[in-house]
Structure formats: structure tokens, C-alpha cells
Structure 1
Amino acid sequence: MKKSKIYKFLGAVVFLSIIAAGIFYWQLPNRHKAIVKSYLLYKTGIIDNQWDVSNDKIEYKMISPDFYIDGIYRSMEGPKATNYVQLTTDSSLIYITGFKVKAIDSKTKATISKDFICHTNIDFNDVSYYSIFNLKNRIGKQYPRMATLSHGFESYEFPKGYGVPMKGKNLLYISTQALNHNLKDIRKLIKHEVTIRYSKDRNTKPLMCRTIFIELPFDENDPYKSPLDPASNMCVPVETKNHVYQDQNGNKLSGHWVIQPGKKTFTSDVNGQLEIKDSLRLHAATIHVHPFSTAIILFDKTTQKVIFKSKITNHTDRIGITKIESFTSEDGIWLYNNHDYELQLNVNNTTNNTIEMMGSMSLFFYDKELDAILKGNELSD
């Protein structure tokens, strides 16, 4: 075969491959387009793909790679980045006391609208974490998430005198995702600046985290059937692969679903997620919900009393959350293993379209067992 024919053949293959790739790309959901787009922009060096990290005695601060905002990215759809961080270079004991995230301009580093923040997750390796503290019986019992910051809940401090203990050489896994509900005609590079505050005060009381979230049943045979019975607590999941769980009877539940226009309350039993053996004293909680939520409530069904209620204020002139009320208490609130607890989420979808929804809390309890270990200095290297 002549070289000219080979070149024509290769050119045709490349051309057809580009067309096929284009067709495949445009058929992807928006969240998957963001992943592909970010990967290509990072790999080609068109946008910054590095984390900028700085650290001092009380704060660990990091700036994410660039996020290219070129259209609408609703909750869970935007470009994102992940990073492993080590708060100190030695193995000294520290206490995490707070978190903060803000959106900044990629070039000027000036603070910009929080409407570009979807969420920031702070996770830990439970095998390493609990092994160091000689608590191997806790490994695999809880989802290893320390906290979630999100749109409307961008900063949080634990009550005075409390913190989550870590040995400095332990790693945290940070993931942060961009958001844009409202600006259609936009071409903008942004970053997220994430701050983790910590202390070395050995008088700090240790907290442990239990993550609870709304998980709802759906029709496994026809998961996207709609409309549902308005009186039911059933849901239509966003998808059936991610954020899908099973109850003790093997029924599938979704933690990421769609809500119809109008008001509704969703409820979810959280006794299994809490795993209270005897009693626990609650001192703090971080909240994660999506726009059009109006309140999320931890409710004691046994006493028919609200443990705490987080009111959620939405923007009035655009989609987004203005403020999510947090919960902190130095005195604490007791929860008991012979009580039934549920998570309640109130929503009000004021649009004419379906909206994606989630609702979760990271609850922080005084850790009596770990406090005794720390006071006895029984730590592994």
C-alpha cells in the first residue's frame, strides 16, 4: 500500500474516532462530562492541576486545582478534585477544632460567591486511625467521614474545649466539588480554599463522629416510575449504582433521589447508623443538604421530642442556600440505645421541575473510651 493511501486511511480513522468520541461525550450526563473535561484540561496543562498547600501551628490551608465553570453544574455535577493531607510532619497528638471552605478567583485569589461551592468532604482511613488509638474493634463499623461542608454551610467550629483527636502522621482525604446553579453564560476558572483548624491542647475533650443520612426505599423493578403516591415515603433515585444501600431485610434504599415540585417531608430511621450501645452525649453536628431543603431534624420518636432542628434559608432571587443552621453544645444532649431516632427532611421545591436531593448529618459525640486511652497515653506508633 502506498504511503499516500496509508495516510488517508489513518486520517479517516482519526476523523471517525473524533466523531465517535464527540457523540459519546455529548450523550454523557453533566456530572460525567465535568469529569472528562477536567481530566483533559489537567492533562494538557491548559489549567492548573496542582494543590497549593501551606501549614502553620493552628491551621492547615490548601488551595485546589482550577475548576473550569462553563455552564450550569447542579449539586453533585461539577468538576472536583481530591487530595491526601497530613496535618503535621511528626506523630504528635493534635485535635481538629474546625473547618472552612471558600471559593476564590483562580488568578487573583480574591473571595468570590459561595454559590460556586457544592461540597467539601473530609474523610479518614479508619484502619490506620483506630489502630493507632488501640480501637481496632471500631474498624469498618462506621463510614469514615469526619465532616462535610457544603453550600450554605461553609464554616464550622466545634464547641470550646472539644475536638477530633488525630496523630499528626495520619492522613485525611479531602474532596471538594464546584457548583453553579444559575449562571448559564459563563467561562470562569475558580478554586476552592480549604482550611482545617487544629490544636495541641491536651486538655481538649475528644469527639467521635457518626454519620447519619436519609435513605429511602424505591421500586427495584421500576425505579424511575413516577409519580409516586404522595403519602408514601418512597423515592425515585437519581441512579441505582451510587448512593444505594440495603436494609437488614435486603431491600434497596437510595440516599440521592429526586423531589417533585411542592412541599414534602421525608423520614428515615437512623438507629442502625447511630449504633448506640448504651448512651452517647451529642456536642456538635455538621449538615449537608441540597437547595430547596427547608429544615433537617434529628427526632426522638420515643419521647416525641426534637433533639435539634437545623433551619435552612434558601436564596429568594436564585437557586441556592443562604444559610444552614449548625448545632454546637458544650453541655451536650444525651442519646440512648433504648430510644428510636429518625432523621426528618423538609423540602419545598418552588420550581416546576424535579430537583435532586440529599440530606445528612455528621454527629459528634464525646468519646469516653478514647479519652481514657489518651489520658493513659496508651497510643501506638
Structure 2
Amino acid sequence: MLKSKIYKISAALVLIALLTGGIWYRQLTNRHKAIVKSFVFEKLGIVDKGWKVANLSETYKMISPEFYIDGIYKSMEGPKASNYVQLSQDSTVLWLTAFRVKALTAKSLQPVSNDFICHTNIDFNDVKYYSSFHLEKRIGSQYPRLTSLSHGMENFSFPKGYGVPMKGNELLYVTTESLNHNLPDANFWIRHEVDIQYTKAKNIKPLMSRTAFVMLPYDKSNPYKQPTDPGTNQCIPVETKNHSYDDGKDNKLSGHWVIPIGKNTYRSSINQQLQIQDSLRLHAAAIHVHPFATAISLVDKTTDKAIFTSKVKNHIGKTGISSIEPFSSETGVWLYQNHDYEIVLDVNNTTTEQQDMMGSMFLFFYDKELEAILQKN
């Protein structure tokens, strides 16, 4: 009799736990549901959580764990995985020259549509990186993201003769995330292959990365109030936890916001993000935008001219980006401390509902100070 009661109580507790867990899971956002599913799949051994790595001749190649695509995953919602990268076992200076990501079938590793690539972030340890080159004053000056590949710009390389130097035994931290805008009934597995190209060649000129992105103000007391006043340049943030910033005057800014139906243009000053002292020479830019962006420009407000404009080609008949124009120049373009700079983003939401948007640039400038240090060694 006692055992019977124990079994009944245990069964009831299990049922309550399952119901509670089910209710909790249903209330999660798409992004957090993907995190939970990935965790459960790993613990149950359903998915191989290991990375396949090969350090070939001047190309570090790695294939991600399997990602389960089971519905719509918009930007920053899909399953993802992270891995540390070490290009060599010693402190020889290597030069990063190009990056690539592509989507593969999970088992046969055959290429599939890059529509299943959200972004691939490549971060570095700024404390170790700058300390190794005796540039400690740069530590903490910017978020330590070297660059990012994303939907529409899955390949990016520096102009000939330029690269980002790093000591081979230091670590990069790579995170790649999946995407699915168009297949609500999806039920399959994919992987991402990430390539980092590097060289030991001499006479390479060093580049440093600066990240600049659109940040728009929102009403912190009522962030989701609609409609916004067009004259205030305010936005409606997608959420207030991630990609939310303070302008130093207790005003809130969002780098991930909602765009209404139709055409719109967004502007954002980036002087503080550029941190120009005297002048900098720009040689390359990798771009990150979301579907329905049509162009993004780096504009010199002082001269009222665009330094460059990257046109964005969207898919026809479905959601997604076919291509984003990169900026690359061996000659370079000068930017000056006494000029004002902004990012201008043009969008055209051709759907019947609101969409989410971001506008970011990973800008690469010639690093005169670092070249002088490298020449001494």
C-alpha cells in the first residue's frame, strides 16, 4: 500500500513538472527556445556537440556542431555554437587576411543555401592581444570583436598587402548562428563551415578594427509606444535588454529596432565609436544589416559626402539578402578628428508587417602605431 502511494505521488510530481516545464517553455522567446533545445539535444546525445577542425596551409577550417532547424528563426534567434581558435603553437606573428562561412548539410557536408547563416562573430581577447604588442592603453576602449560575417556577406577579405596581425598562439573566439526566414515547416539539421585565412608573409601592413553601428533613441519610460514621432528620430526597440545603450546623459539608445512598412532612412552619429585622434586611413569595411535594408553609407557630414555606400540586394519573392557590397581600398580614404561622421541606413519594408533592423560596420584602418612596433621586433 505504501509503495502504491509513493508511485502515485511520484507520477503526480512528474506530471506537474512536465506541465510546469511545458508552460515555461511556451512562454520563452524563439531565441531562448533554441538554447533550451540545443542543451537538451547535447545532454541526450542526439547531436554531436564537437567541432571538426583542420588547420590546413594558411587556412584554419572548422565545421560546427549540428543545428536543428525546425521553424522560423529570425536574426539572433537560431541555434548557435562557439569555439576557440588557435592558429599555431608559438608566438610567431601571423596575418589574418580573409574570412568565410557557408552552410552545409549535417551528414554529407554538402553546401546548402546560405539563407541558413545568421552571423559568424570573431572575437579576440583584447587584454592579451594589446598587451602582447605593448598597446595596453587600448584595452577596454572598444568591444573586442574583430569582425562579423552575416547573411548577405558570407565572405570578406582585406585588400592586397593588408591584414590584421596576431601572435599565432593567442586565441580567437568564434560564434556562428543559424537562420531561417522562409521555411515555417522546416525539420532538418545543418552545420556551418567557418574558414579563417592567414599568412606568414612579410611586408604586410597592419589594420585595426573599429566597430560602428546605428543607435537610435527610444522612450525609456514607454519603449514600445507607437507610433513614434518622426521628428525625434526615435525608434521602437526589439527589446530593451540586448543591444541597448546609454548616451551618457541618461538617454536610452537601441541598436536593434523595429521598422514600419515602406521606405525609411535612419541616421546615427558615430564620432564616439570611431575615436579618431588626428586622422585615420580607412582600407576596408565589413557590413551587417538585416533583410529589407537597401543601402548603408558612411557619411562625412562636414563635407556632406559619402565615404562609401554599400548597396544591399534583397531576395525577390522571399525574405533574405542576396548580397552586400563590401568596401575595400588599397589606397585608403582619410577620416579626420575635426570632421563629423554618421551612418545612414536606407530600408524598404516590402512586407505587410513590422520587421527588425540593425546597421553595423566593421571598419579597418591602417595602424601606424602598431607597424612601428612590429618593425622594431
TM class, shorter-length = over 0.9
Distance 2:344 2:89 in 1: 42
Cα drift, residue 88 of structure 1: 1.2
The one-letter code sitting in structure 2 at the alignment partner of 1:319 is T
Cα drift, residue 173 of structure 1: 0.7
Q: Which residue of 2 aligns with 1:114?
A: 114
Tell me the SS of whatever aligns to 1:50. coil
Match of 1:45 in 2: 45
The AA in structure 2 aligned to 1:280 is L
The TM-score with structure 1 as length reference comes to 0.98
Structure 1: where are the runs of 5+ without partners?
Answer: none
TM-score (norm 2): 0.99
Q: Measure, in 1, the Cα distance between the counterparts of 2:44 and 2:359.
A: 37
1:70 is matched with: 70
Partners of 1:135 and 1:177 lie apart in 2 by 32
Deviation at 1:118, TM superposition (A): 0.4
Q: Does residue 1:103 correspond to 2:98, yes or no?
A: no
Q: For residues 168 and 328 of structure 1, what CA distance do their matches in structure 2 show?
A: 25
1:1-381 equivalence runs, <5 A: 2-377=2-377
Structure 2 alignment gaps of length 5 or more? none
Deviation at 1:216, TM superposition (A): 0.6
Structure 1 residue 101, shift from structure 2 partner: 0.1
Compute the RMSD of aligned alpha carbons. 0.8
Distance 1:5 1:345 in 2: 66
Q: Structure 1: how far apart are the matches of 2:267 and 2:32?
A: 30
User: What per-residue deviation string (whole Å, max 9, x for no partner) do you get for residues 342-381 of structure 1?
Assistant: 011111101111111111000000000000000001xxxx
1:343 aligned counterpart, secondary structure: strand
CA deviation digits over 1:108-129, x for unaligned, max 9? Answer: 1000001000000001010000
Displacement of 1:32 in angstroms is 0.9
- In 2, Cα distance between equivalents of 1:256 and 1:173: 23
Which one-letter code corresponds to 1:84 in the other structure? Y
Please report how far the alpha carbon of residue 232 of structure 1 lies from its aligned counterpart in structure 2 after TM superposition.
3.4
- How many angstroms apart in 1 are the aligned matches of 2:359 and 2:101? 19
TM-fit CA distance, 1:230: 3.1
Note the C-alpha offset of 1:202. 2.2
CA deviation map 1:15-35 (0-9, x unaligned) = 110010001101111111111
Counterpart-to-counterpart distance in 2, 1:374 and 1:215: 35
Deviation at 1:89, TM superposition (A): 1.6
What is the alpha-carbon distance in structure 2 between the residues aligned to residue 112 and residue 86 of structure 1?
28
**Aligned amino acid, residue 236 of structure 2:** V
1:195-243 CA distance string (max 9 Å, x none): 0000111211000000000011000000000111234311111111111
Relative to structure 2, which stretch is displaced further, 130-139 or 179-188? 179-188
**Could you tell me how far apart the structure 2 residues matched to 1:233 and 1:99 are?**
35
3-state SS of 2:90 partner = coil
Instruction: Give 1:175 shift.
Output: 0.6
Q: Which amino acid aligns with 1:263?
A: K
For 1:66 and 1:52, the matched residues in 2 are separated by: 11
SS state of the match for residue 96, structure 2? strand
- 1:125-151 C-alpha deviation (Å, 9 max, x unpaired): 100000000000000001111111001
**Counterpart of 2:184 in 1: which secondary structure?**
coil
CA distance in 2, matches of 1:335, 1:296: 18
Aligned to 2:374, the other structure's residue is in SS state: helix
Deviation at 1:11, TM superposition (A): 1.1
Distance 1:177 1:202 in 2: 34
Cα displacement string for residues 302-359 of structure 1 (whole angstroms, at most 9, x for unaligned residues):
0001000000000011000000000000000000000000011111101111111111
| More off after superposition, 240-249 vs 150-159 | 240-249
Report the AA paired with residue 26 of structure 1.
Answer: R
Equivalent-residue separation in structure 2 for 1:231 and 1:293 (angstroms)? 21
Q: CA deviation at 1:42?
A: 1.4
Distance 2:303 2:39 in 1: 51
Aligned length in residues: 377
